[in-house]
Amino acid sequence: MSWTNIDLKNISTQVELLPPGTYTFEVSPGAKFNDKGTLLASARVATEGEFKGKPVFFSYPDPESVSAGGKVNSWSAVALKRLEMAVGVDFNDGETPDVYLNRIAGQRFTGVVTHSPTNDEYPTPRVNLNLFNLKPAA
pLDDT tens across 125-134, in order?
A: 899 999 999 9
pLDDT, one tens digit per residue, over 51-76 is 999 999 999 999 999 999 999 999 99
Q: Domains (ranges, CATH) in the chain? A: 16-136 (2.40.50)
pLDDT, one tens digit per residue, over 96-109 is 999 999 999 999 99
Mean local confidence (pLDDT), 87-93: 98
End-to-end Cα distance, the chain:
38
Contact 12, 18 (CB under 8 A): no
Q: How many CB atoms lie within 10 A of CB 122?
A: 10
How many CA atoms are closer than 13 Å to the CA of 121, on its beta-carbon side? 2
Which pLDDT does position 48 carry in this prediction? 74
Which residues lie below 8 Å from residue 48, measured CB to CB, with a gap of 6+? 23, 24
